[in-house]
Amino acid sequence: MDSGAAQAVLMYYRASSIESTSGWKESLLHLLQFGEMAVPTLMAIFLEINSLIIAIMIVCLLVHEATAIWDVSYAYARREVRPVEQHVHSFLEMLPLMGLLIIVTLHWEQFLSLIGISREPADYTLRLKQPPLPWIYVGSILSLVVLFEVLPYLEELIRGIRGRKARLSSDWNNANQACSQRDEERIYKGTTKVPASGV
């Protein structure tokens, strides 16, 4: 996932104040989508690509797409989803697909072995990548992901939780105020008996 595009989406969500509309539940959907793409990304970084990894990547992509539809449906019912946001969403949905297509192209025979038409047998073993990717590359990528994706998503979730607490507190205060006002009106109209002192 492109961190620049993800950052743009998160900045848009911050500007649209989702903490006061769709709230923390939409943030959980964002984190779920992030997790669904983190699994194949980490596999591609640390493991040898074979039929098993490609199959997991395909499943993760399909689950991610289903969650993306759930996310937009949930948000659309609770706040305005503007064309710019829809466009950025479509861009973000294409990135995992393009990543998968590149992986499949580079490991074509292992992909074909999933459907039984390869010249080589399917490999379903989990093996660390040999040689491993340079630690500077891995460290840089993971640091950028934490900085531009994990932390903003967590900040969004915290804002949503705080917004929910503030709304619940406000609703509670309004309900108490309404009850107190009704009690005062009943006493004033004489519908509520006030016990005499010393009885």
Q: Write the pLDDT tens digit of every residue in 63-117.
A: 999 999 999 899 888 888 888 888 888 888 899 999 999 999 999 999 999 989 9
C-alpha distances out from residue 75 to 8, 86, 128, 178, Å: 17, 11, 39, 31
Across the strands, what pairs with 149? none
Give, as one character, the DSSP assignment of residue 192: S
Distance from chain centroid for Cα 175? 33
Q: For 15-42, what is the mean pLDDT?
A: 86
Check residue 21 and give its pLDDT: 78
Q: Which residue has the higher pLDDT, 179 or 131?
A: 131
CB atoms within 10 A of CB 18: 23
Distance of alpha carbon 24 from alpha carbon 72, whole angstroms: 14
The dihedral region occupied by 66, where left means phi > 0, alpha psi between -120 and 50, and beta the remainder, is alpha
Kindly report, residue by residue over 9-20, the tens digit of the pLDDT. 555 555 566 777
Check residue 195 and give its pLDDT: 55
Percent of the chain with pLDDT over 90: 50
Q: For 113-122, what is the mean pLDDT?
A: 92
Does residue 128 sit in helix, strand or coil? Answer: strand
User: Per-residue pLDDT for 158 more than 50?
Assistant: yes
Radius of gyration of the chain (CA): 26
